[in-house]
Amino acid sequence: MKALITLHNRIFDALESLALVLIPTLARLVFAGTLLVYYWNSGLTKLGEGWPGILNPGVGAYGQIVPRLFEQAGYNTANLGLVADVMVRAGTWAEFILPALLLLGLATRLAALGMIGFVIAQSWVDIHGHNLAAGDIGAWFDRVPDSLIADQRAFWMFLLVVIVLRGAGPLSADAILRRTRAAGAAGWPKA
C-alpha cells in the first residue's frame, strides 16, 4: 500500500509541476478555440463600410452596443453624443484588440482583465439593453446548465480569471519579452 501511495504522489507531483506550464497555455488555447472567432465575427458586424469603417463603426454597432440610447436618438447616430460614440468605438475595437492580445500572449493579464470587463458590459447590455428573457439569463444551481449569461459566461469568466492569475504561459510574447529583458539585465548582448 505504501508503494502505491508513493507512486500516486510521484505521478501527481509531476503533474502539479507541469500545471505551471500547461494551465495558462491551455487557457489561452481554449480561449482561442472557443471565443476568438466569436468576438472577431461580432466585431466585424460593427464595422462601417470599407477601410474607413475600422475607425467609423456602422449603424449596427450602435444598435448592438447602446440599443436603448440609439432608439431614444431616433436611430440617428448624430443625435447620440460623444459618450455613446466613444463607448461604441471602444467596444468595437475591444472585440478585435483584446482577443488578439490574448492569442499572442502580449500584455495578457491586462487583456484578460479587459475581456472580463467586456463580458460584464456585454452581459449587462444583453440583459438591460436587449431585454434578454429570464430563461436565457438563467441561474446557478438549477437543472439547466446552458443559459447564456449565468452558465456560459461564468465559464468564460473563469477562463479569463485563470489567465489573469497565471499569465500567458511559456508560449507567449510576454514570455519572450521577459526572457529578452532578463538576458539584457544579465549583460547579454541585445538582439
What is the pLDDT at residue 141? 92
pLDDT mean over 98-123: 97
- Residue 180 scores a pLDDT above 60: yes
What is the pLDDT at residue 189? 53
The band of 6, judged by pLDDT with boundaries at 50, 70 and 90, is very high
CB 76 within 8 A of CB 62: no
Tell me how far apart the alpha carbons of residues 84 and 77 are, in angstroms, rounded to a whole number: 9
- Residue 24 scores a pLDDT above 90: yes
pLDDT mean over 94-111: 97
Residues 84-102: tens digit of each pLDDT: 999 999 999 999 999 999 9
- Residue 107 scores a pLDDT above 90: yes
CB 135 within 8 A of CB 141: no
What is the pLDDT at residue 97? 97
- Residue 63 scores a pLDDT above 90: yes
The β-bridge partners of 57 are: 47
Tell me how far apart the alpha carbons of residues 70 and 63 are, in angstroms, rounded to a whole number: 6
**R_g of the chain, CA atoms, integer Å:** 21
pTM of the model: 0.88
Query: Is the pLDDT higher at 128 or at 184?
Result: 128
The band of 191, judged by pLDDT with boundaries at 50, 70 and 90, is very low
Lowest mean pLDDT among 21-35, 43-57, 103-117: 43-57
Q: For the chain, what are the domain ranges? A: 30-168
- Residue 186 scores a pLDDT above 80: no
Average pLDDT across the chain, whole number? 92
